[in-house]
Chain A
Amino acid sequence: MGRLLDVKGLETRFFTQDGVVHAVNGISYTLDEGETLAIVGESGCGKSVGVMSLLRLIPQPPGKITSGEVWFGANSDRKNLLRIGDDEIRQVRGNRIAMIFQDPMTSLNPVLTIGFQVSEALMLHMGLDKAAAKKRTIDLLEMVGIPRAADRLDDYPHQFSGGMRQRVMIAMGLSCNPQLLIADEPTTALDVTIQAQITELVKRLQHEIGMAIIWITHDLGVVAGLAQRVVVMYAGFIVEEAPVKELYGNPRHPYTLGLLGSLPRLDEHRARRLTSIEGLPPDLIDLPKGCPFYARCRYRIEQCETENPGLEPVGPGHRIACWVDIGSAEPGFADGGRGRLQ
């Protein structure tokens, strides 16, 4: 599999009245063709802004991509999406990179029919005429499991349930055979049985179409059954990146460890006390000088307060941004870190 996406040092800021919000702070990651990458983090960690920046969908002003490169495409037609013209990026959006959003209630236009909304992209990007677009729309709706698709083209979004609307969104996303599908919390607003329907659907479609997926979520449970690699974000930084089994089996960043510890599990046998992460994430306007997780970290050492660790490899495909080797350090003491990396 070839390299499809190469994000280097992406940095996005919002210039507001209260100050500069450091939403994304120099993140770098890659994605191969056909691969599924999950970006995990809590609200405000920059996971959505990070991928919106890839497609230059940041409202400007107040937002601005202040530095970085986004190389997209197979070898021959690799382009830096941040440097190409507006016409060119429009050819990428919805066509080669599709996006589905969290809220299927608000991302469909309530006054246009389902049929119109799905076929719009087909006519715009694929140059199909009306009849061909209609036929393809029916195929797509059937593919995502909407019963009696042909009869429902003239229905409006309010006539569909939440799960059905998300299926429509997926159909729209897939209409131009994208190379990359960005799914921004697509199952968060849905019930758990519907969530299972949608994740199974996306997995099946990926198998059939062979696109790559970036799946953004705060739910470490969904990720476990879906992704090949996981990126964990905190306060606009990538703090850990690893293959999925490595991340859950051998988490190396104190934040990842804390997240996993604070999740109740359906299959836990005894009642265990959840290890919550005390405190709150830092203010993105006034980021600490050192590690962003310093104030909440149980493994912190002196160095963490003044120097922000970069993302360094600790194993095959496994990178962390931490000065402390939590495998050998004792938690709970301010200066308890012994063995250090590097």
Chain B
Amino acid sequence: MSTNGHSKQVLLEIKGLKMYFPIFRGILQRKVADVKAVDGLDFQVYQGETLGLVGESGCGKSTTGRAILQLYRPTAGVVHFQGTNLTTVKGEDLRRMRRQMQMIFQDPYASLNPRMTVGSIISEPLEVHNIGTRPERLERVRELLRVVGLNPYFINRYPHEFSGGQRQRIGVARALAVNPSFIVCDEPISALDVSIQAQIINLLEDLQEQFGLTYLFIAHDLSVVRHISDRIAVMYLGKIVELADRDELYQNPMHPYAQALLSAVPIPDPVVEEKRKRIILEGDVPTPVNPPKGCHFCTRCPKVMEICHDNEPEFRDYGAGHFVACWLYQK
């Protein structure tokens, strides 16, 4: 919420990002095809903003987050973070860069080691990066627990002693430990109950304000993404089809997929629901091994034209940072 209207400083610039996973078959384990999880992304993340990344399962949003942090080495493209191209950085240099970039994971049950105490989970990144002495680290862990709203007294407990919401707070504390400037939040609330979701969303918003964090917020729930993001990118089958300011995207979605997605989200108000008209998409998402030629959405698009089947539309700015990749608007 802090960047609106101010001069924007680019923190992260992504150009032509591709992430293919090879498929091997047969006795010789020859490469037969690729899963094109992420198939050419261009976007920027500004300092201090929250960029929401939405899409349905399998559209490549989590892969994008991981490829940005170099947890996967991208097949192609560049990721500029504060002026450094991360795709060419290796070893110790990359590890040092990682102090700036952290991640919060979806599943608070699987992402914490059950054999480690909360204290050692949160101090692990400090040890890895050689920050502080033992007593300093301990003090830092206590402080972090307070920051995320947990009692420092819990420091010697194990993850199974906590509820899902509390575990997610531990995950947040671990991400904050090394004072990062950029955090990838990969569906941080989708495993939680509604009343707990709100607690975590509020916490993430408070921390952003307090520490000037930049978030890439990955989620499939458009209502949550609209709530927390400054700008939103909509992904479909490995591509960003639309990127705009959150209010602009909501009021004026241009891509037929974004329109359908927005219309499909239920609104918790029966009076509003009565009057809404849904765009029901036919069929399912095609496989990313063999995405359709031309526009990836052409097999399900209600406004499909001939050109969509043959040529891929360009991802273009239609004013005020509203990017769309659709032939409807390209003459």
Contact = CB atoms under 8 A, between A and B. Distances in A.
A266 B223 contact: yes
B220 A197 contact: no
Given A264-B227, A266-B250, A266-B265, A276 B280 contact: no
B193 A224 contact: no
Nearest to B57: A191
Nearest to B281: A193
B225 to A, nearest CB: 9
A192 to B, nearest CB: 5
B265 A249 contact: no
Which residue of A195, A267, A278 has the most chain B CB atoms within 10 A of its CB atom?
A267
A249 B198 contact: no
A224 B223 contact: no
B198 to A, nearest CB: 3
Contacts, number: 133
A193 B227 CA distance: 20
B1 interface: yes
A341 interface: no
B202 A224 contact: no
Contact of A277 (B198, B264, B270, B280): B198
B284 A275 contact: no
Interface centre among B226, B227, B262, B272 (most CB of A within 10 A): B227
A225 B268 CA distance: 8
B195 A161 contact: no
A249 B284 contact: no
Interface string B215-226: 000001111101
Contact of A275 (B196, B198, B221, B268): B198
A259 B199 CA distance: 12
A274 B198 CA distance: 6
Nearest to B149: A278
A221 B223 contact: yes
B284 A163 contact: yes
A280 interface: yes
Nearest to A164: B284
B267 A266 contact: yes
B119 interface: no
A244 B269 CA distance: 9
Counting chain B CB atoms within 10 Å of each CB, which of A42, A163, A225, A258 scores highest? A225
A130 interface: no
A55 to B, nearest CB: 26
B56 interface: yes
Given A42-B193, A200-B278, A193 B272 contact: no
The 6 closest A-B pairs by CB, nearest first: A262-B198, A221-B266, A264-B227, A276-B198, A225-B273, A196-B264
12 contacts: A191-B57, A192-B265, A196-B264, A219-B266, A225-B267, A225-B270, A249-B271, A262-B195, A265-B269, A276-B195, A276-B202, A277-B198
Interface of B: 1, 56-57, 163, 165, 193-199, 201-202, 205, 220-224, 226-228, 247, 250, 260-274, 276, 278, 280-281, 284
Given A191-B56, A225-B266, A248-B270, 19 more contacts: A43-B193, A193-B261, A219-B194, A220-B268, A221-B265, A221-B267, A222-B266, A225-B270, A248-B271, A249-B271, A265-B267, A266-B265, A267-B250, A273-B205, A275-B198, A276-B198, A276-B199, A277-B198, A280-B163
